[in-house]
Amino acid sequence: MSRMSRFPVHDDLTAPEGSLPVLRGALASAGQLPNVIGVLAGSAAALRAYARFRSELRQGSLPAQTLERIAVAVAAHHGSEPGLALHQRTAREAGLRLDEIARARTWQSGDEKEAVLLELLRLAVAERATPPLHLHEEAREAGWTDAQLLEALAFASIEAFTAIVNVAGDVPVDGSVEESRRRHAA
């Protein structure tokens, strides 16, 4: 039996009026929405903030594979099943091999440039510690710009927010809500 979210997973038929413009825009561009978006629709302010933050980060300079490594690491750190399911799939679509996805779950990479970035983020996100200056310098020497380091921190923070909502709300893995709705309708 499928889990039920602690928060309603809204769609364009059940969402509060203030959330409808963002939900409809997201539906038009993505088709099916992740359950976390449906949950965030319960607060128009939270949904708008989330959508704006994600929209700005999409215009950043980090490669898709880097973003997926970060997303997998953050979801694994927080124990977010929906986040892991989504990002393990999108990481494969971005061209990451299974071994590299497995490494990302523990903030590691077989690529030296990616590994130093993930270690810096691990300290900042998972350990909530100030990364040592030498690690910041190593990241720069590996080829990361300050802008990219800031984007990586921003992306890790929105992925952490997503994971926190998924975990706190006991949000089911995407697709399971529809399956549950069909069973209740039968």
Q: Please check whether residue 36 is in contact with residue 82, taking contact to mean a CB–CB distance below 8 angstroms.
A: yes
CA angle (168 as vertex; 163, 17 as ends), nearest 5:
90
Does one domain contain both 70 and 162? yes
Question: Which of 2, 153, 156 lies closest to 81 in space, CA to CA?
Answer: 2
Element at 135 (helix H, strand E): helix 133-141
Would 10 be classed as within a structural domain? Answer: no
- Asked whether residue 102 is assigned to any structural domain, the reply reads yes
Six-digit token string for 75: 């979801």
Answer yes or no: do 73 and 22 share one domain. Answer: no
Per-residue pLDDT tens over the stretch 44-58: 999 999 999 999 999
Q: Are residues 52 and 70 in the same domain?
A: no
Determine the structural domain holding residue 177 and report its residue range: 17-59+170-185
pLDDT tens figures, 11-37: 989 999 999 999 988 888 766 788 999
Inter-residue contact 136 to 149 (CB < 8 Å): yes
| Residues 129, 45 within the same domain | no
Residue 8 forms part of a structural domain: no
> pTM to 2 decimals?
0.89
Closest CA to 114 of 129, 130, 128, 94: 94
Does residue 127 lie within any of the structural domains? yes
pLDDT of 179 above 50? no
Specify whether 99 is located in the same domain as 75.
yes
Residues 74, 55 share a domain: no
φ, ψ (nearest 5 deg) of residue 165: -65, -45
Residue 178 covered by a domain = yes
**Domain assignment present for 29:** yes
pLDDT tens figures, 59-114: 999 999 999 999 999 999 999 999 999 999 999 999 999 999 999 999 999 999 99
150 shares its domain with 89: yes
Backbone angles phi, psi at 144, to 5 degrees: -80, 135
Number of domains into which the chain is organized: 2
Q: Where residue 181 falls among pLDDT bands split at 50, 70, 90?
A: very low
Identify which of 90, 100, 106 has the alpha carbon closest to the alpha carbon of residue 174: 90
Do 77 and 151 lie in a common domain? yes
Tell whether 43 and 124 lie within a shared domain.
Answer: no
81 and 22 within one domain:
no
- Same domain flag for 164 and 74: yes
